[in-house]
Amino acid sequence: MNIVILAAGTGKRMRSALPKVLHPLAGRPLLAHVLDTARTLNPSCLVVVIGHGAQAVRDAVAAPDVQFAIQAEQLGTGHAVQQALPLLDHAQPTLVLYGDVPLTRASTLKRLTDSAAEGCYGVLTVTLDDPAGYGRIVRDQTGSVVCIVEEKDASAEQRRIAEINTGIVVAPTAQLAMWLASLKNDNAQGEFYLTDVVERATAAGFDVVSAQPDDVWETLGVNSKQQLAELERIYQRRAAEALLAAGVTLADPARFDVRGSLRCGADVSIDVNCVFEGDVTLGDDVTIGPNCVIRDAVIGVGTRVDAFTHIDGAQIGTNAVLGPYARLRPGATLKDETHVGNFVEVKNAVLGHGTKANHLTYIGDADIGARVNIGAGTITCNYDGANKHRTVIDDDVFVGSDTQLVAPVHVGRNVTIAAGTTVWKDVEDHALVLNGKTQITKTGYVRPVKHKPKR
């Protein structure tokens, strides 16, 4: 089967410089969702018709299995399909999808293509309470589809028809090419309508069959930011329902967003307003507090992530405690039973088993062993203005508060670093390290007093 995805339109009502089909739904372009669904049908040929913002659209979805056809001027849906014809296998049927209709289930498309298996013309239709704006499906007394009439061309009587054209069709390609060549644009919009092919097919004695989706939202398109927001909510509600069905606790399924893939073990609990991006895996018994943003992360069994924690590109072991207000950046690897507390930033660093950094700390480009206690206000000075260097801290080190570790530097096992120390030379195992400082105390000191302003 050939699949053609129409994606050349301007999308004026989006009021945006970004081509419509590139607006993100669940973090990915609308068109990427359509391509995903198309791929599940294993098409032998997959063509995207581009026009408005062609280069940007091409750049966004280019892949070895995707071909592009250019529709330089948007002269209608029929004209758009025509541009793809030279790339299609004319011995196979062609399924036409829309780049701005992102939520169609593959099973629905399969039903349509199956029902149109014997070389007939298949149309995906749906019955709406409010069919305004859509092409209407006109049937004869026997129930056979006669034609599709666009709202702008419809009579008052035709406008009362509630069954509409979703736009998704499947047709025998060689005949489709002939029918498209015979289209005229003598209609209200001066366009070459793909919908007019139905009349050509019936006139040529072809059966026109129809199929319906399980849910109306499968056929909803995006023409405006309002519709985009509605589809986003439908997508997120379905994602939440799937997690609930799998046993995940969501404090509020309406305040939860997944923009990628989220895999959860047993007894995972997620509080409100969390956003999951990219590939996230949560082990059994993981608890996520409110307002966390978690991207591309693996979080081990029993770990607790408290409120307002931001995780990006991190691996976290079992029974760790993160946050509130922790920030893990790419390359953060936290072993089992680690604690990373408020206003602690970890980047490109390993924290060994049971290591704790609970307050106000920056750990970047570091290898930290097991059972290390990192006091408040500790900073790895990893950047010399030109290059990054590593800090290595061996097992069982005690790092006093307000310590600076000037990398590259190596602190041996069981070292104690006094509070307020700047460590810029390597320290051998079991040592105490401190900087020579003198505390000066002047007794009976009188503070300056604020002058009263003169008037």
Q: Which residues have a catalytic role annotated? A: 359
Burial class of 205 by CB neighbour count within 10 A (0 to 12, 13 to 18, 19+): exposed
Site for ligand UD1 in 256-275 (CB under 6 A): none
Cα 241 to its chain centre, rounded Å, is 17
Sketch the per residue contact string, 59 through 88, with ligand UD1: x for CB under 6 A, - otherwise.
Answer: ------------x--xxxx-xx--------
Output helix, strand, coil percentages for the chain, rounded to the nearest 5: 20, 35, 45
Residue 103: contacted member of ligand UD1, Ca ion, none (CB under 5 to 8 Å, by partner type): none
Q: Which of 147, 164, 288, 415 binds ligand UD1 (CB under 6 A)?
A: 164
Return the range that interacts with ligand UD1 (CB under 6 A); candidates 192-200, 227-235, 303-311, 374-382: 192-200
Return the range that interacts with ligand UD1 (CB under 6 A); candidates 159-167, 333-341, 355-363, 389-397: 159-167
What is the rounded distance in angstroms from the CA atom of residue 74 to the CA atom of residue 381? 57
Residue type, 374: I
3-state helix/strand/coil string of 18-54? CCHHHCEECCEEHHHHHHHHHHHCCCCEEEEEEECEH
Q: Tell me the closest approach of the beta carbon of residue 134 to Ca ion, in angstroms.
A: 8
DSSP states along 347-410: EEEEE-TT-EEEEEEEEEEEEE-TT-EE-TT-EEE-B-SS-B--EEE-TT-EE-SS-EEESSEE
CB nearer to ligand UD1: give 165 or 421: 165
Q: Tell me the closest approach of the beta carbon of residue 260 to ligand UD1, in angstroms.
A: 25
CB nearer to ligand UD1: give 70 or 246: 70
DSSP, res 330: T
What is the rounded distance in angstroms from the CA atom of residue 348 to the CA atom of residue 185? 61
Q: Which residue is nearest to ligand UD1 (CB)?
A: 135
The residue among 34, 8, 66 whose CA lies nearest residue 231 is 34
Site for ligand UD1 in 209-248 (CB under 6 A): 221
What is the rounded distance in angstroms from the CA atom of residue 319 to the CA atom of residue 116? 55
148 binds ligand UD1 (CB under 6 A): yes
Return the range that interacts with ligand UD1 (CB under 6 A); candidates 5-13, 225-233, 330-338, 367-375: 5-13
Q: Tell me the closest approach of the beta carbon of residue 165 to ligand UD1, in angstroms.
A: 4
What is the rounded distance in angstroms from the CA atom of residue 288 to the CA atom of residue 270? 5
CB nearer to ligand UD1: give 99 or 352: 99
What is the rounded distance in angstroms from the CA atom of residue 280 to the CA atom of residue 297? 5
Give helix then strand counts, H and E, for the chain. Answer: 8, 33
Q: Which of 108, 113, 165, 333 binds ligand UD1 (CB under 6 A)?
A: 165
What is the rounded distance in angstroms from the CA atom of residue 368 to the CA atom of residue 378? 13
Residue type, 309: T
Q: Which of 135, 300, 364, 369 binds ligand UD1 (CB under 6 A)?
A: 135
Q: How many residues bind ligand UD1 (CB under 6 A)?
A: 27
CB-CB contact of 306 with 289 (8 Å):
yes
CB nearer to Ca ion: give 221 or 283: 221
DSSP 3-state assignment of 223?
A: coil
Phi, psi of 178 (to 5 degrees): -65, -45
CB nearer to ligand UD1: give 225 or 263: 225
Return the range that interacts with ligand UD1 (CB under 6 A); candidates 93-101, 119-127, 232-240, 264-272: 93-101
Residue 135: contacted member of Ca ion, ligand UD1, none (CB under 5 to 8 Å, by partner type): ligand UD1
CB nearer to Ca ion: give 221 or 323: 221
Site for ligand UD1 in 15-44 (CB under 6 A): none
Strands annotated E in 83-173: 93-98, 121-127, 136-139, 145-149, 163-172
9 binds ligand UD1 (CB under 6 A): yes
Q: Tell me the closest approach of the beta carbon of residue 48 to Ca ion, in angstroms.
A: 17
Site for Ca ion in 210-239 (CB under 5 A): 221
Q: Tell me the closest approach of the beta carbon of residue 31 to ligand UD1, in angstroms.
A: 9
CB nearer to ligand UD1: give 16 or 435: 16
* Binding site residues, ligand UD1, CB under 6 A: 6-9, 49, 71, 74-77, 79-80, 98-100, 134-135, 148, 150, 164-167, 193-195, 221
* Binding site residues, Ca ion, CB under 5 A: 221
